[in-house]
């Protein structure tokens, strides 16, 4: 009996130990697998939404889906219930260069589709988020608290078997009070004053031949002194989705764009720069600005220094 009791005791102890191990390790492993699948390892995964999430949430009263393509494309087909704000409405022309829509005009544009500062805004374009990125930055510049982007755009929505329609919904006009975040934007004077600041890194997201001056889209070719070049499109997979966090972080770190730096992103007009801003925000860079007038201003001003 003693031997049998000892055997029973050993079995019970082993079963208890197995149960403890199960409770300790099973749930974290499950959570880790789910997190990695749904976030790609990003520091701010909520910025990107997947088609499944959007299908489940697009009809909620506090969610507004916005198609940023030109109206003619929107009219052909779009995600059901989506509003349309052509991304180009959020840029202006200033003295031959580019600029950003005024706070008042921005409030009127987004208020017209029922957006308030409390709305969860989900932006999408055709595929690679280049056009969605400009409104993303403008929304954040004007203080919107919850703005997101559909990973892979309309193309991925369709390939996932999700519906589209041609109906343009009507929205009740909302009042949108803008809260400008000056720490999201850089002027030429700001960049000039920080050229020798070791805590600031300037990121040029144009094509390499624009960076070197071989391709010139302004009076002068080249780049802002000290800027590093990582073309915006290198952040994307062939299907228009974003690369994983580890690949993106390596790419930027190899270029000297560290997380502890304040990063200023520029291109020719601020369009591609907004995409760089979106990627860095996704990765958790805490201090990122867009030089919105970019090379369309810097390259046309003879009083500003350049490198080639």
- pLDDT category of residue 196 using cuts at 50, 70 and 90: very high
In this prediction the pTM is 0.87
Average pLDDT over residues 245-261: 97
Residue 307 pLDDT exceeds 60: yes
pLDDT attached to residue 94? 66
Residue 28 pLDDT exceeds 50: no
Domains of the chain: 45-181 (3.40.250.10), 183-298 (3.40.250.10)
Annotated active-site residue 267? The verdict is yes
pLDDT digits (tens, 9 = 90+) for 85-125: 999 999 987 665 688 999 999 999 999 999 999 999 999 99
pLDDT digits (tens, 9 = 90+) for 44-71: 999 999 999 999 999 999 999 999 999 9
Q: What percent of the chain has pLDDT over 70?
A: 86
pLDDT attached to residue 6? 45
Q: Write the secondary structure of the chain as one string of H (helix), E (strand) and C (coil).
A: CHHHHHHHHHHHHHHHHHHHHHHHHHHHHHHHHHHHHHHCCCCCHHHEECHHHHHHHCCCCCEEEEECCCHHHHHHCECCCCEECCHHHHEEEECCEEEECCHHHHHHHHHCCCCCCCCEEEEECCCCCHHHHHHHHHHHHCCCCCEEEECCHHHHHHHCCCCCECCCCCCCCCCCCCCCCHHHECCHHHHHHCCCCCCEEEEECCCHHHHHCCCCCCCCCCECCCCEECCHHHHECCCCCECCHHHHHHHHHHCCCCCCCEEEEECCCCHHHHHHHHHHHHHCCCCEEECCCHHHHHCCCCCCCCEC
pLDDT attached to residue 40? 82
Residue 60: phi and psi, rounded to 5, are: -70, 145
Check 79, 121, 150, 267 and give the catalytic one: 267
Give the integer Cα–Cα distance in Å for 261 and 259: 6
CA distances from 115 to 60, 139, 164, 206 (A): 13, 11, 22, 32
pLDDT attached to residue 22? 33
């Amino acid at each position: 009996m003693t031997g049998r009791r000892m055997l029973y005791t050993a079995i019970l102890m082993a079963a208890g130990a197995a149960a403890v191990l199960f409770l300790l390790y099973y749930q974290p492993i499950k959570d880790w697998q789910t997190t990695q699948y749904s976030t790609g390892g990003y520091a701010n995964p909520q910025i990107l939404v997947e088609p499944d999430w959007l299908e489940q949430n697009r009809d909620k009263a506090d969610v507004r889906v916005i198609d940023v393509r030109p109206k003619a494309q929107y009219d052909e087909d779009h995600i059901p219930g989506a509003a349309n704000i052509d991304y180009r409405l959020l840029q202006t022309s200033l003295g031959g260069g580019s600029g950003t829509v005024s706070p008042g005009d921005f409030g009127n544009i987004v208020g017209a589709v029922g957006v308030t500062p409390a709305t969860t805004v989900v932006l999408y374009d055709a595929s690679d988020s280049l056009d969605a990125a400009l409104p993303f930055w403008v929304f954040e510049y004007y203080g919107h608290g919850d703005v997101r982007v559909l990973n892979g755009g309309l193309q991925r929505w369709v390939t996932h078997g999700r519906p589209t329609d041609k109906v343009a919904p009507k929205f009740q006009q909302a009042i949108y009070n803008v809260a400008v975040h000056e720490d999201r934007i850089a002027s030429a004077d700001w960049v000039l004053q920080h050229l020798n600041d070791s805590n600031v890194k300037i990121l040029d997201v144009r094509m390499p031949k624009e960076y070197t001056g071989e391709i010139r889209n302004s009076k002068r070719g080249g780049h802002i002194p000290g800027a590093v070049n990582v073309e915006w499109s290198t952040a994307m997979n062939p299907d228009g989705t974003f690369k994983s966090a580890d690949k993106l972080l390596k790419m930027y770190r190899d270029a000297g764009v560290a997380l502890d730096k304040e990063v200023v992103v520029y291109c020719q007009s601020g369009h591609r720069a907004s995409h760089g801003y979106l990627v860095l925000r996704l990765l958790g860079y805490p201090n990122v600005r867009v030089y919105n007038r970019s090379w369309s201003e810097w390259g046309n001003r003879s009083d500003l220094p350049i490198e080639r």
